[in-house]
A and B are shown apart, each in its own frame.
Chain A
Amino acid sequence: MIRDLLAPLGLALTLAAPAWAQNTVDEIPYEDASGPEAPAADGASTASGEPFARGRVAAQGFLVDGKAIGGLVVGFAASAFRMDLGFNLAWATDERSQASLDGDGFFGSVVDIHLGARVELTEMFAVEAGSGLDLWWLFALHSEEVKLAMPLYAAVEATLAQQFFGRLEARGYLLASDGLMVGRSFDGEDTVPLFFTASAGVWF
């Protein structure tokens, strides 16, 4: 009875789902097709809507001048929405920055928590825009030295073989703590207040 009621819902979700979600439906294994997680009547979805939620993990790099920043991003996508949590370690590579730091230029980490909306352009390409919170934690300088920013980002993403993806993101800050300046050089010259990140990873 419940399955009969949920079947139309599964069909509706299937129609609303992005291409990548629909393409993975057949790959989801079911140990017992007659059990509670069995596919709905249309064969495109489980009653619980599982095919529309996927996780992913990626390596990420910040493409910024004078710093080496990179780390790991763990994400979750459901229908047209996506949420990512990134943890990156950061080094200053500009020699002039070394005067402010001890050792090898390591200064802390960047934690980014982003929520975005995706639009699937094709089976392979998607674009995305969103916002969130970037936390620049300069713990090598002091354990409580933190700069916060509210980013606005736009990204283009390409998926290969329904599993591997590459992503390029442009990110600017709508709001930022004093002393966190995107687009300003060490010498104080201003350029475009946007920086890029690139990532590559796998859906699971």
Chain B
Amino acid sequence: MRALLLFGLLPLGLMLAGCVPVTLDNDPPVDFKRWQAVYVAPIPGADADSEREFVEGLRADSGFKTVTTDGGARVDAVLYVTVDVSESYDDEDDEYEYTATARVRLESALDGRVIDSTEVNDDGGSRSGAVDDALDEVVQHYLRAYRL
């Protein structure tokens, strides 16, 4: 009887489960159907490696169909990012901490109007690490639309 009750819980749960969905989605800050191709302008404050990694991240995860660093390419939008890094000394841990702030502006390639703007920041144990993390947050900001 006890075993019956115990293992009766599982089928009961399965019966109840079939009708309960959990849906995950995101609401992108821009319409990626309208703004499909983007040119990424050189990023003041980021070195070549960070910039390349950022562009690769946009290509892999963002909703933009085409991401280019070719200034002559035909695009729908231009992405301007600037990165500033502040440095502070942590007395307790006896080490420097870095905070990178990325200021982002997406403009129409046609008329220059601002489509989207935001500011993100992230910390790191090194200057380049903080910059990479901040730029990664920019990639997340432009994450492709999904619905699961």
Identity of the chain A residue whose Cβ is nearest the Cβ of B142 in the assembled complex = A142
Separation of A196 and B18 alpha carbons in the complex (Å): 10
Asked whether, in the complex, the Cβ of B148 is within 8 Å of the Cβ of A97, the reply is yes
CB neighbours (8 Å) of A186 from chain B are: 21, 23, 147
Nearest A residue to B26 via CB reads A179
Contact A195 B2 (CB under 8 A): no
Residues on B with C-beta less than 8 A from A163 are none
Chain A 54-87 per-residue mask, 1 if CB under 8 angstroms from chain B, else 0 = 0000000011111100000000000000000000
Chain B: minimal CB distance from A70 (Å): 12
Q: Are B148 and A92 in contact (CB under 8 A)?
A: yes
For B137, give its contact among A66, A144, A198 (CB under 8 Å): A144
> Across the interface, do B12 and A168 meet the contact criterion of CB distance under 8 Å?
yes
Number of residue pairs A-B, CB distance < 8 angstroms: 120
Q: Please, how many angstroms separate the alpha-carbon atoms of A141 and B139 in the complex? A: 11
A65 to B24, CA, bound (A): 12
Whether B13 and A185, one on each chain, are in contact in the complex, defined by CB atoms closer than 8 angstroms, is no
23 A–B contacts, CB within 8 A, in A order: A65-B21, A100-B144, A124-B2, A124-B5, A138-B148, A141-B143, A142-B143, A158-B6, A166-B10, A168-B13, A179-B24, A180-B22, A181-B24, A182-B20, A184-B21, A191-B20, A191-B21, A192-B20, A194-B20, A196-B13, A198-B10, A198-B13, A198-B14
Name 18 extra pairs, CB < 8 A, besides A145-B26, A192-B20: A62-B22, A63-B13, A64-B17, A64-B21, A67-B22, A92-B148, A100-B144, A142-B143, A147-B24, A156-B9, A166-B6, A168-B10, A178-B26, A181-B23, A191-B19, A191-B20, A196-B17, A200-B10
